[in-house]
Structures are given as C-alpha cells and as structure tokens.
C-alpha cells in the first residue's frame, strides 16, 4: 500500500464514497483514515472528482476541527475541557498532563509518541473529568489515571 502514490490512494477513497448523497465529508473522513491526516495534495483531486472548486473543498477541509493538516502522533489523547469536566477540575488535569508529556494542546511530542488535544464534551459528563485515548473513553480521570496514560503513550 505504501508504495502507492498519494494520488492513487486519494482516487481509491473517492471511488468508494462518491456514490453517496453529499459525499464530501465521508470522503474527507476516508482520506484522514487512509493517511492519518488530509494531505493538501488530495484536495484538488477531490475537487476535480466532485466538480467543485478548489476553494470550496479547501473551505470544508479547514472548517472542521477534526481534519488534520499534518500527521498526528502515534497516540492521540483528547482531554475534555467542557463545563461538566471543568466542575471536576479539568483545567488542573490538563496542566498535569501537559507537564507530564511536556507538550501543550494542539502539539505533538518531539518523539512523535502523542498528540494532545482539547475536546468539548465526550458525553461522559456523569463521570467527569474525562478523556479519550485513541478512541477509548476514560472517565473519573485522576493522578493515577494520568500516570497510566503517560506510561501507555510512552511505551
């Protein structure tokens, strides 16, 4: 797979999704799934295939928080910073995690191990503060959980 060009892989994703009604978001999700981010080179190929302007596709790809311009770390850690988690000390948790990992929000560790992101609600509000590590939900985050998370992303 790796030998294939960005263009070929982009075209393959488009081919799979283009029959859908309103295919642009599913295509962008598919591209991000394929590459781990949305390569800038993919955008004009999508625009051409869907008969949209480059500006339109660029606008959509940059409007949504989920689509990355650059690859993420091997792990992605999201810390909820919304009100229910705030009421349970999410800002303190965020400061501890940032200190332990040596990175701030929207940053990736130098060794590429982890990307740290804020998220505004994971729907785990009755077991706040909450986090999500590589899609796995974590509730009632405390010092012990932080240590486990840090150990996992470093391993």
Binding site for another protein (CB under 8 A): 21-26, 28-29, 50, 56, 59-60, 63-67, 82-88, 119-128, 130, 132, 135-140
User: 3: left (phi > 0), else alpha (psi -120 to 50), else beta?
Assistant: alpha
> Please, which residue, 75 or 111, has the CB nearer to another protein?
75
> Please, which residue, 44 or 139, has the CB nearer to another protein?
139
Rounded CA separation 9/38 (Å): 12
What Å distances lie between residue 84 and 127, 134, 139, 143, CA to CA? 9, 22, 12, 18
In the complex, the smallest distance separating the C-beta of residue 70 from another protein, rounded to whole angstroms, is 16
> Please, which residue, 4 or 62, has the CB nearer to another protein?
62
> Please, which residue, 4 or 40, has the CB nearer to another protein?
40
> Please, which residue, 4 or 55, has the CB nearer to another protein?
55
In the complex, the smallest distance separating the C-beta of residue 129 from another protein, rounded to whole angstroms, is 10
In the complex, the smallest distance separating the C-beta of residue 98 from another protein, rounded to whole angstroms, is 18
First-to-last alpha carbon distance for the chain, in angstroms, is 27
In the complex, the smallest distance separating the C-beta of residue 81 from another protein, rounded to whole angstroms, is 9
Rounded CA separation 19/6 (Å): 21
Cβ–Cβ < 8 Å for 111, 101: no
């Amino acid at each position: 797979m790796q030998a294939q060009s960005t263009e070929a892989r982009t075209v393959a994703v488009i081919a799979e999704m283009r029959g859908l009604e309103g295919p642009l978001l599913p295509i962008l999700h598919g591209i991000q799934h394929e590459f781990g981010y949305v390569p800038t080179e993919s955008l004009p190929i999508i625009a051409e295939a869907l008969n949209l302007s480059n500006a339109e596709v660029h606008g959509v790809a940059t409007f949504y928080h989920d689509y990355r311009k650059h690859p993420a770390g091997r792990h992605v850690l999201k810390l909820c910073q919304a009100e229910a988690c705030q009421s349970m000390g999410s800002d303190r948790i965020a400061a501890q995690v940032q200190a332990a990992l040596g990175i701030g929000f929207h940053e990736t560790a130098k060794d590429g191990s982890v990307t740290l992101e804020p998220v505004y609600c994971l729907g785990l509000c009755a077991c706040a503060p909450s986090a999500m590590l590589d899609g796995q939900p974590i509730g009632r985050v405390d010092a012990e959980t932080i240590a486990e998370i840090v150990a996992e992303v470093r391993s």
